[in-house]
C-alpha cells in the first residue's frame, strides 16, 4: 500500500490521507482556536474595544485598524474579537444546556413510557409547533433583552429536538437483550440509564448537538440583531451588525466585519459537525 | 379496524384538535406577556419621552383594561373573540382583524415568490447533484449549498442590499409598494437559505431512489435514463419534496421576522416584531393564533398529500384496514 502511495502525486496523496479522522482533527483544531479566541479575547485585541474616540469615528480599514472603526471610533477588529465571547461562548453554553435538558427528558420519558411519555411528547410537540425564532422572540421580549435571556429563550424552544432523539434512541436500546438482562439481574432504573442506555445513545445526541452549533450561533445572533439579545454597548456580532445597519451605504465595514465573523464561525462549526457525523455514523 | 373511518372523519378530527391547541397557546402567550412586567402604556411613554404622572398612567391602563386581574382580561378577550371581535390594537387603535388582513397580502406574495424561486433552484440542482454524484458538479453545487447554509439571513440580506441595492442599484433598498422589484431582494434572501437546505434533501432522496432495483431493471430493458429520471424517480421523490415545501410554506406564512424587518416589507412578520416591541397584546394574540392555525393546517395537508401520493402510507389512527 505505502509503496503505491508514494507513486501518486502529492495532491492525490493529500486527498487520500485526509480521511474523516484527519478532517476531524483539522476542524476540531480550528474550532478550538475559535473558542480560544473567545476565551482570551481580552489579551488578543489590539485596542480597548469599548474606548470611544469620536475623532476616529468611521475610519476605513487601514494598517492601524484592519477592520476600520465604528461610529464612536472604537476599533472594529477588537470589537469583533471580543464579540466572539458573547457570540460563541453563549452559543456553546446554550447547546450544552439544551443537550443536557433534552437528553435527560427524552431518556427518562422513553425509559418510563406510558402516560409520562405521552405527556412529555405532547409538550415537546407544542414547542416544535412554532418556527423557532418567532417563539424565541416572544420569550426574549418578555424577559427583556440580554444575552442570558436570549439563551433562555432559545433553550426553551430547542430542547424538544434533543428529547426526541434521546427518546427514540432509548426506545430502541430499551428492548435490546443486554438491557433486559440488566433488568433481570435486578439493576435499578438509574443504574440502567447511566450504565446501559446513556453510553449507547451518546453518539446520535453528540451528532445532533455538533450539527446544531452553527444554527444556534446564527439564531442567537439573529435575536441580538432584532434587539432582543445582547444590548449595546456590549460587543456581540448580531447587535453590532444591527447598530451599523443604517451606515451600510457609507461605511460598509461596520456591518460586514461582524457578519464575516459570524459566517466564518458557522462554517467552522458546520464543517466540524458534518465531520463528527461522518465519523460516528458512516454511511 | 375501523372500517367507517374515512378520510373526511380523519380531517374533521384533526381540525377539532385545533381547538385545544388554540386555547393552550393563546392562554400561554397571554400569561407570558402579562407577566413580563412592562406593558404597552409604559412602552408608549418610554417611546415618546413624556413625563407622566402615576394617575395618568393608571387612567391610560384602565382605559385599555390593563388594570384588571390577568384571568379577567383573558376571559374578556376570549369572550370577545367568540363573538367575532379580536379587539383593537393598543398602539394604533385600529381593528386587529383588519390590521392583520391588511398585512397578509405582502406575506403571501413573498411566500409565493420565494417558494417558486426555491423550487426553481433546488430541484434541478439537487437532481444534477445526485446524478453526478461525487463528480465536479456535485461538489460544486454542494459547496454553494454549504456556504448558503452557513450564512444567517440577516447577513445575506445586508450583503444583497449592499451589492444589488447600493452598488449596482438593481433593486430599491426599501420596498415602498408590492412590486416584483421590491420583492426581489427579500425573495432572493429567503430562497438562498431554503435552496441550500432543500437541494441536499432532494439530492438524498433522488440518490435513494436511483439506488433501487427498478432503475437497474429499466436500464436493462433499454429505457432511456432521462425517461426513468423524469417519469419514475421524480414521482417517487415528490413525497419528500412536497413535505419540505409544505413545512417551509408554513414558516414563510408566519412571516419571516428578520427579513421582513430588514427590507421594511410590510407583512405579518414585521407586524409581529413591531407588536412585540410595543407590547401590543391584541396584535400579538392574533399573530399567535395565526401561527397555530398554519401549523395544524400544514401538518394536515402534508399528511393528506402523503396519502394521495402514496396509498401505502396509512393515516395515523386509521388502523390496519
Cα-based distances in Å from B282 to B20, B29, B39, B164, B276? 20, 11, 12, 38, 10
User: What pLDDT was estimated at residue A134?
Assistant: 59
Cα-based distances in Å from A6 to A3, B56, B102, B127? 5, 86, 70, 37
Average pLDDT estimate for B21-25 = 77
- Using alpha carbons only, give the angle A26, A32, A38 rounded to the nearest 5 degrees: 145
CA–CA dist A36, A139 (Å, integer): 31
CA–CA dist A182, A177 (Å, integer): 9
Contact B258 A225 (CB under 8 A): yes
Cβ atoms of B86 and B234 within 8 Å: the answer is no
CA–CA dist B153, B252 (Å, integer): 13
Q: Touching check for B284 and chain A: CB below 8 Å?
A: yes
User: What pLDDT was estimated at residue A129?
Assistant: 62
User: What pLDDT was estimated at residue B48?
Assistant: 65
- The model's pLDDT over B154-186, given as tens digits with 9 standing for 90+, comes to 899 889 888 888 888 877 776 667 777 788 889
Nearest of B268, B273, B274, B260 to residue B291 by alpha carbon: B268
Q: Touching check for A218 and chain B: CB below 8 Å?
A: yes
Structure pTM?
0.81
Average pLDDT estimate for B133-159 = 90
Contact B32 A142 (CB under 8 A): yes
DSSP string over B108-143: HHHHHHHHHHHHHHHHHHHHHHHHTTTSHHHHHHHH
Nearest of B257, B296, B254, B288 to residue B31 by alpha carbon: B288
- The model's pLDDT over B193-242, given as tens digits with 9 standing for 90+, comes to 889 988 888 898 888 888 888 888 888 888 888 888 888 888 777 777 77
Contacts of A124 (CB under 8 A, 6+ apart): A105, A159, A160, A163, A164
On the question of pLDDT at B11 being above 90, the answer is no
Contact B272 A245 (CB under 8 A): no
User: What pLDDT was estimated at residue A62?
Assistant: 79
CA–CA dist A277, B317 (Å, integer): 35
How many other CB atoms sit within 10 Å of the CB of residue A107? 24
Q: Based on the number of CB atoms within 10 Å of its own CB, is A260 exposed (0-12), middle (13-18) or buried (19 or more)?
A: middle
Q: Based on the number of CB atoms within 10 Å of its own CB, is B243 exposed (0-12), middle (13-18) or buried (19 or more)?
A: middle
Binning pLDDT at 50, 70 and 90, where does residue B250 land?
confident
User: What pLDDT was estimated at residue A95?
Assistant: 96
Contacts of B205 (CB under 8 A, 6+ apart): B126, B237, B240, B241
The answer for A 98-127 residues in CB contact with B (under 8 A) is 126
User: What pLDDT was estimated at residue B191?
Assistant: 92
State the residue for C-alpha cell 425573495. Answer: B187
Task: Pick A45 or B136 by higher pLDDT.
Answer: B136
Contact A131 B261 (CB under 8 A): no
Contact B33 A226 (CB under 8 A): no
Grid cell digits, residue A192: 440502567
Cβ atoms of A51 and A74 within 8 Å: the answer is yes
CA–CA dist B125, B137 (Å, integer): 9
Q: Touching check for A209 and chain B: CB below 8 Å?
A: no
Cβ atoms of A99 and A162 within 8 Å: the answer is yes
The overall average pLDDT reported for chain B is: 80
Task: Pick A158 or B50 by higher pLDDT.
Answer: A158
- The model's pLDDT over B308-320, given as tens digits with 9 standing for 90+, comes to 766 665 555 444 3
User: What pLDDT was estimated at residue A175?
Assistant: 87
User: What pLDDT was estimated at residue A6?
Assistant: 47
Torsion of CA A62, A65, A70, A72, to 10 degrees: -120
Q: Touching check for B161 and chain A: CB below 8 Å?
A: yes
User: What pLDDT was estimated at residue A16?
Assistant: 47
Contact A214 B150 (CB under 8 A): yes
Residues in chain A with pLDDT values less than 50: 1-6, 16
Q: Which of A10-19, A76-85, B78-87, B297-306: highest mean pLDDT?
A: A76-85
How far is the alpha carbon of B12 from chain A, nearest alpha carbon, in Å? 20
Contact B24 A126 (CB under 8 A): yes
Grid cell digits, residue A43: 489579551
Which of A134, A143, A249 is nearest residue B291 as measured by Cβ atoms? A134
What's phi and psi for A75, nearest 5 deg? -70, 120
Average pLDDT estimate for B247-268 = 81
Amino acid at each position: 500500500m505505502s509503496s503505491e502511495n508514494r507513486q501518486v502525486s502529492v495532491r492525490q496523496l493529500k486527498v487520500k490521507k485526509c480521511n474523516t479522522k484527519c478532517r476531524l482533527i483539522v476542524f476540531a483544531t480550528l474550532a478550538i482556536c475559535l473558542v480560544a479566541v473567545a476565551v482570551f479575547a481580552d489579551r488578543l485585541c489590539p485596542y480597548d474595544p469599548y474606548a470611544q474616540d469620536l475623532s476616529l469615528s468611521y475610519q476605513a480599514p487601514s494598517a492601524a485598524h484592519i477592520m476600520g472603526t465604528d461610529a464612536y471610533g472604537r476599533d472594529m477588529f477588537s470589537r469583533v474579537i471580543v464579540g466572539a465571547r458573547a457570540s460563541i461562548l453563549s452559543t456553546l453554553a446554550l447547546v450544552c444546556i439544551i443537550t443536557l435538558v433534552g437528553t435527560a427528558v427524552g431518556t427518562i420519558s422513553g425509559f418510563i413510557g406510558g402516560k409520562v411519555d405521552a405527556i412529555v411528547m405532547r409538550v415537546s410537540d407544542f414547542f416544535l409547533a412554532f418556527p423557532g425564532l418567532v417563539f424565541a422572540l416572544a420569550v426574549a421580549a418578555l424577559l427583556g433583552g440580554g444575552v442570558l435571556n436570549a439563551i433562555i429563550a432559545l433553550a426553551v424552544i430547542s430542547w424538544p429536538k434533543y428529547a426526541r432523539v434521546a427518546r427514540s434512541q432509548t426506545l430502541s436500546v430499551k428492548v435490546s437483550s443486554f438491557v433486559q438482562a440488566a433488568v433481570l439481574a435486578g439493576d435499578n432504573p438509574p443504574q440502567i440509564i447511566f450504565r446501559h442506555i446513556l453510553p449507547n445513545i451518546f453518539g446520535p445526541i453528540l451528532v445532533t448537538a455538533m450539527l446544531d452549533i452553527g444554527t444556534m450561533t446564527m439564531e442567537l445572533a439573529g435575536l441580538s440583531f432584532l434587539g432582543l439579545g445582547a444590548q449595546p454597548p456590549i460587543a456581540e456580532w448580531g447587535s453590532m451588525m444591527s447598530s451599523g445597519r443604517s451606515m451600510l451605504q457609507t461605511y460598509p465595514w461596520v456591518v460586514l466585519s461582524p457578519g464575516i465573523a459570524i459566517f466564518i464561525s458557522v462554517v467552522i462549526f458546520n464543517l466540524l459537525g458534518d465531520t463528527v457525523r461522518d465519523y460516528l455514523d458512516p454511511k | 379496524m375501523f372500517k367507517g373511518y374515512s378520510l373526511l372523519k380523519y380531517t374533521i378530527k384533526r381540525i377539532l384538535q385545533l381547538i385545544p391547541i388554540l386555547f393552550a397557546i393563546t392562554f400561554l402567550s397571554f400569561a407570558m406577556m402579562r407577566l413580563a412586567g412592562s406593558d404597552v402604556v409604559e412602552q408608549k411613554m418610554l417611546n415618546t419621552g413624556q413625563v407622566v404622572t402615576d394617575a395618568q398612567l393608571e387612567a391610560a391602563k384602565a382605559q385599555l383594561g390593563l388594570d384588571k386581574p390577568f384571568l379577567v382580561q383573558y376571559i374578556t378577550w376570549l369572550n370577545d373573540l367568540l363573538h367575532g371581535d379580536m379587539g383593537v390594537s393598543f398602539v394604533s387603535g385600529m381593528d386587529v382583524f383588519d390590521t392583520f388582513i391588511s398585512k397578509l397580502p405582502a406575506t403571501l406574495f413573498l411566500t409565493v415568490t420565494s417558494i417558486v424561486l426555491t423550487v426553481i433552484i433546488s430541484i434541478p440542482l439537487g437532481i444534477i447533484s445526485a446524478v453526478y454524484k461525487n463528480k465536479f458538479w456535485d461538489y460544486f453545487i454542494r459547496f454553494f449549498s454549504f456556504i448558503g447554509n452557513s450564512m444567517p439571513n440577516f447577513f445575506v440580506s445586508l450583503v444583497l442590499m449592499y451589492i444589488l441595492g447600493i452598488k449596482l442599484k438593481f433593486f430599491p433598498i426599501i420596498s415602498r409598494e408590492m412590486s416584483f422589484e421590491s420583492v426581489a431582494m427579500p425573495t432572493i434572501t429567503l430562497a438562498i437559505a431554503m435552496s441550500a437546505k432543500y437541494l441536499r434533501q432532494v439530492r438524498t432522496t433522488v440518490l435513494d431512489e436511483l439506488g433501487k432495483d427498478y432503475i437497474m431493471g429499466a436500464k436493462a430493458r433499454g429505457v432511456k435514463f432521462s425517461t426513468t429520471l423524469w417519469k419514475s424517480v421524480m414521482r417517487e421523490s415528490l413525497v419528500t419534496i412536497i413535505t419540505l415545501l409544505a413545512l417551509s410554506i408554513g414558516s414563510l406564512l408566519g412571516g419571516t421576522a428578520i427579513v421582513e424587518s430588514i427590507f421594511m416589507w410590510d407583512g405579518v412578520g414585521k407586524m409581529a416584531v413591531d407588536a412585540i416591541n410595543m407590547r401590543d397584546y391584541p396584535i400579538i394574540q392574533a399573530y399567535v393564533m395565526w401561527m397555530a392555525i398554519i401549523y395544524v393546517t400544514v401538518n394536515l395537508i402534508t399528511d393528506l398529500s402523503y396519502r394521495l401520493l402514496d396509498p401505502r402510507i396509512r393515516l395515523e389512527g386509521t388502523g390496519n384496514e
